Structure 1
């Protein structure tokens, strides 16, 4: 008898029971290999601190799975990339960016792949 195929994990498991913006964002590493890391990020209304920019040594591909968010890039001042479920973006290594906002009152789930 063949064993049934079962998923190893569910990207929506373990989410906070309700959005709580005062809590820290949740970062869960799903896979880590040399030159590559896959993580789930859970936001509940957070944004990057004022004046803070991510400046990462690896490229990052991001998919928004649920919720909504706005990303700002230092090289495009005054513009915000609005992301909705299903949207993806590739952020080149060294491209300074920040989370301008995440949806208030709902949970935003991101899937991020960091790679060389």
Structure 2
């Protein structure tokens, strides 16, 4: 086994969010997401069948929810989003990578 670091080998292409599968067995999926200024479209929502626990490791982001709630996430902040709760990424830090750790279950 070897150790890996969430903050190394970040994608060089910043034009799109990068999703990297880290582990999982079907019922649970763990991924690293790297954003640099990306956000969801102005219209539309993520509405996932499963719950998602997500933490910001580096950078910052704002999550918006259909009910009007907005959360500003900074390094170390995390949230557990219930299944089917409509949300979107409204903003991520444009001048540095925002590194997320997401657990889908």
- TM-score, normalised via structure 2 length: 0.93
Q: Distance in 2 between matches of 1:100 and 1:64?
A: 14
Match of 1:59 in 2: 51
Q: Distance in 1 between matches of 2:78 and 2:100?
A: 10
Describe how 1:1-116 pairs up with structure 2 within 5 A: 6-7=2-3, 9-17=4-12, 20=14, 23-75=15-67, 77=68, 79-115=69-105
Q: CA deviation at 1:52?
A: 2.1
What is the count of residue pairs matched by the alignment? 105
The gaps in structure 2 that reach 5 residues or longer are: none
Taking only aligned residues, the RMSD between alpha carbons, in angstroms, comes to: 1.5
Deviations 1:16-51 (A, max 9, x none): 45x84xx11000010121210000000001000110
Q: Distance in 2 between matches of 1:54 and 1:27?
A: 16
Q: Distance in 2 between matches of 1:6 and 1:90?
A: 29
Q: Distance in 1 between matches of 2:2 and 2:46?
A: 36
User: After the TM superposition, which parts of structure 1 deviate over 2 Å for at least 4 consecutive aligned residues?
Assistant: none
